[in-house]
């Protein structure tokens, strides 16, 4: 209720959109980072004429199968750009949306032709400002000078526990100024409509930095008994207070009734939106005549379709190819893909030279060079994830990747979870995937991380064993625009394995080798990542003793679970109960695949500081130990 004036002005007077085509490319984007106030957004979408929010949808707020869920969900409600709710995430998403606009504008606009030109508006609250992720994202927005980003800070001094005086007394304006933002203060956000209009107009004159407009409001404005109280923050007013508020505001209409004069006023957006889109389409047609090459690339990008034959660029390896760390093989893939995927853009959290994520043919995305495609996120993992989600959800065909050490997914788990929930196909390049990183010790050695992401819905958790599997992981990740992917990559060198396959990765698990001559093997050895080599060598030892052994490489559990029962049975015959898995991480979850009789070799404790070879030996990730465990089952 306190945000209604600024939101009304934004949607009715400022923003450019087409309610009959929520996905028109050059629309302005709106993000409600304070997502608990989503009924305001639904009401505005309804008034503006979006078909996704009918009167019945408003009446079904937060109910089963509703298109008006308790926080905004982009996959549920067309017109909602990103999924917000966890505070501060929306700020990061908005920075990603603005980055995408800036990059595409710099790449495709010409002095005599502009086809990318839209703003990103975001409303955030005190809670968003308290969360550290918003500071990470805002710091980058200021550094990058994202002038098409305008944030409205709903300064109402109330959070769930009461007045913000109990925990939040910093000068937010000065903080944003220090982060490189232009700031404006609207002191009367309740009725100061002209102040709000003037602030937006001023923000649009700023060409070298984003703008934060602090709008001082009264939470629950209009409620005679609950306004300016924490009790109106997270719960409904109640029927008595609703009646009192309607009377106080002089609103005589029945619930959900929109007066005809209001309908008539807002109905203008249907024609206005159609006209705006038509004008843009005409501009694009004129651009195409002048700049056919650039137009072809631009139209291919925003179509969401991948270029024909893009996957032919993926490198192929043979057992004779030199062994290498999968993080290095990942860099080879990224640099091959960027030549054929104009949407590929990304970077690392200050670890590009260690994650091996630098695109060698491109410079850095910076304030002065927004056309470039290497993004320097600095040590800001959580903000990096949320920004990448915004890029992925911009609707322009950009394919973002971001990188850090695998263990530091702990710092960005909230953003990764929202990637999965919001169907944002971010590619997470995570190196130093196990105890194999060695001397840095247990603080940097991921143990439970593979299992934890395997428990997360709608995400592919890859752990490739060699070059072909790394390429196969990238192939699936690029194709999966509504499912994020995590690639857990090794620091240590691994051999190129006989039998590995790019295409087989899409099956999740596949037979790497088998000497059973078409019969059921005596034993199945299963490995992921750097441990597949160990399983293969153990199989060689056991085969010499006359046993038939199948080696299964298992780069992605989630993809395997999507396969038919027949395929699953062909890889893991139910009558073969002698099974051993080997993975340098938690054994949690492996019981499903090794069965009650099998053995899972893993690590259910934290690691240690020592050379990688020593750790593998001490923790039992050796050929001898795998052979011993296997023989105990035969």
Provide the annotated binding site for thiamine diphosphate: 36, 85-87, 127, 156, 233, 408
Q: Give yes or no for a contact between 12 and 266, defined as CB atoms under 8 angstroms apart.
A: yes
- Annotated binding site, which residues? 36, 85-87, 126-127, 156, 158, 233, 327, 354, 408, 432, 440, 444, 491
How many alpha carbons fall within 13 Å on the CB side of residue 475? 25
How many alpha carbons fall within 13 Å on the CB side of residue 98? 31
- Annotated binding site for Mg(2+), which residues? 126, 156, 158
> Cα-atom radius of gyration of the chain, to the nearest Å?
27
> Closest Cα partner for 311 from 272, 339, 331, 285?
339
Kindly give, in sequence order, each residue whose CB lies less than 8 Å from that of residue 593, ignoring residues fewer than 6 positions away: 526, 554, 572, 579, 581
Burial class (CB in 10 A: 0-12, 13-18, 19+), 99: buried
Neighbours of 122 (CB within 10 A): 30
- SS3 at position 522: coil
DSSP 8-state symbol, 14 = I
> Closest Cα partner for 93 from 382, 379, 389, 346?
389
- SS3 at position 621: coil
Pairing of strands 427-431, 399-405: parallel
Q: Which residue has the tokens 């192939």?
A: 475
Kindly give, in sequence order, each residue whose CB lies less than 8 Å from that of residue 572, ignoring residues fewer than 6 positions away: 509, 524, 552, 579, 593
Burial class (CB in 10 A: 0-12, 13-18, 19+), 545: exposed
> Closest Cα partner for 98 from 143, 132, 133?
143
Cite the DSSP H helix spans in 221-355: 239-249, 260-266, 268-290, 292-303, 326-337, 352-355
Q: 381 catalytic, yes or no?
A: yes
**Residue of 73, 241, 381, 558 marked active site:** 381
Show the 3-state SS of 327-395: HHHHHHHHHHHCCCCCCEEEEECCCHHHHCCCCCCCCECECCECCCCEEECCCCHHHHHHHHHHHHCCC
Kindly give, in sequence order, each residue whose CB lies less than 8 Å from that of residue 452, ignoring residues fewer than 6 positions away: none
Neighbours of 9 (CB within 10 A): 17
**Alpha-carbon torsion angle 295, 299, 301, 304, nearest 10:** -170
Compute the distance between CA of residue 531 and CA of residue 469 in angstroms, rounded to an integer: 13
> Closest Cα partner for 445 from 455, 457, 453, 437?
437
> Closest Cα partner for 123 from 202, 204, 189, 201?
189
Q: Give yes or no for a contact between 468 and 318, defined as CB atoms under 8 angstroms apart.
A: no
Compute the distance between CA of residue 478 and CA of residue 506 in angstroms, rounded to an integer: 12
> Closest Cα partner for 419 from 78, 89, 52?
89
* 529 phi and psi angles, rounded to 5 deg: 55, -135
3-state helix, strand, coil in the chain (%, to 5): 40, 15, 45
- The residues annotated with a catalytic role in the active site are 381
């Amino acid at each position: 209720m306190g945000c209604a004036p600024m939101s009304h002005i934004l949607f009715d007077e400022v923003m450019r959109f087409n309610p009959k085509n929520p996905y028109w490319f050059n629309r302005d984007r709106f993000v409600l980072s304070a997502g608990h106030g989503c009924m305001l957004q639904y009401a505005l979408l309804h008034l503006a004429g979006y078909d996704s929010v009918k009167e019945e949808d408003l009446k079904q707020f937060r109910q089963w199968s509703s298109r008006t869920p308790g926080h905004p969900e982009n996959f549920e409600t067309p017109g909602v750009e990103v999924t917000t709710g966890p505070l501060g995430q929306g700020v990061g998403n908005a920075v990603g949306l603005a980055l995408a606009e800036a990059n595409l504008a710099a790449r495709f606009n010409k002095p005599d032709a502009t086809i990318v030109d839209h703003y990103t508006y975001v409303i955030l609250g005190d809670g968003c400002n308290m969360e550290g992720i918003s500071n990470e994202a805002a710091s980058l927005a200021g550094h990058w000078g994202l002038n098409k980003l305008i944030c409205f800070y709903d300064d109402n001094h109330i959070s769930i526990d009461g007045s913000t005086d109990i925990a939040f007394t910093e000068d937010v304006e000065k903080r944003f100024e220090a982060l490189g933002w232009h700031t404006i203060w609207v002191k009367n956000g309740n009725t100061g409509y002209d102040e709000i209009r003037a602030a937006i107009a001023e923000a649009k004159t700023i060409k070298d930095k984003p703008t934060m407009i602090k709008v001082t409001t009264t939470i629950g404005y209009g409620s005679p008994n609950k306004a300016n109280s924490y009790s109106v923050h997270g719960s409904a007013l109640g029927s008595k207070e609703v009646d009192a508020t309607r009377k106080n505001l002089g609103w005589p209409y029945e619930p959900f009734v929109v007066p005809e004069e209001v309908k008539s006023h807002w109905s203008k957006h249907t024609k206005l939106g159609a006209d705006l889109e038509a004008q843009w389409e005409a501009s694009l047609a004129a651009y195409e005549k002048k700049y056919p090459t650039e137009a072809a690339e631009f139209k291919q990008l925003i179509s969401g379709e991948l270029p024909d034959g893009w996957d032919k660029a993926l490198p192929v390896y043979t057992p004779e190819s030199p062994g290498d760390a999968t993080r290095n093989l990942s860099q080879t893939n990224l640099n091959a893909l960027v030549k054929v995927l104009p949407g590929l853009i990304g970077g690392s959290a200050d670890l590009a030279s260690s994650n091996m994520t630098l695109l060698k043919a491109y410079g850095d995305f910076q304030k002065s060079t927004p056309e470039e495609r290497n993004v320097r996120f600095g040590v800001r993992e959580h903000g990096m994830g949320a920004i990448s989600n915004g890029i992925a959800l911009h609707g322009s065909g950009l394919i973002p990747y971001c990188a850090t050490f695998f263990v530091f997914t702990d710092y960005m788990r909230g953003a990764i979870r929202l990637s999965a929930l919001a169907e944002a196909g971010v590619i997470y390049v995570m190196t130093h995937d196990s105890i194999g990183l060695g001397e840095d010790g247990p603080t940097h050695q991921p143990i439970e991380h593979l299992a934890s992401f395997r428990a997360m819905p709608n995400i592919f958790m890859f752990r490739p064993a060699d070059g072909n599997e790394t390429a196969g992981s990238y192939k699936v990740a690029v194709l999966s625009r509504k499912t994020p992917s995590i690639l857990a990559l090794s620091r240590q060198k691994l051999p190129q394995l006989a039998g590995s396959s790019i295409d087989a990765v899409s099956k999740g698990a596949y037979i790497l080798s088998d000497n059973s001559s078409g019969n059921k093997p005596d034993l199945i050895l299963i490995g992921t990542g750097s441990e597949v080599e160990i399983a293969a060598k153990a199989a060689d030892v056991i085969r010499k003793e006359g046993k038939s052994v199948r080696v299964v490489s298992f780069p992605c559990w989630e993809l395997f679970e999507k396969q038919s029962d027949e395929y699953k049975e062909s890889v893991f015959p139910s009558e073969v109960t002698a099974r051993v898995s080997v993975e340098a991480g938690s054994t949690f979850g492996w019981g499903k695949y090794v069965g009650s009789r099998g053995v899972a070799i893993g690590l259910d404790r934290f690691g240690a500081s020592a050379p990688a070879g020593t750790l593998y030996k001490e923790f039992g990730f050796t050929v001898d130990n795998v052979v011993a465990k296997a023989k105990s089952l035969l």
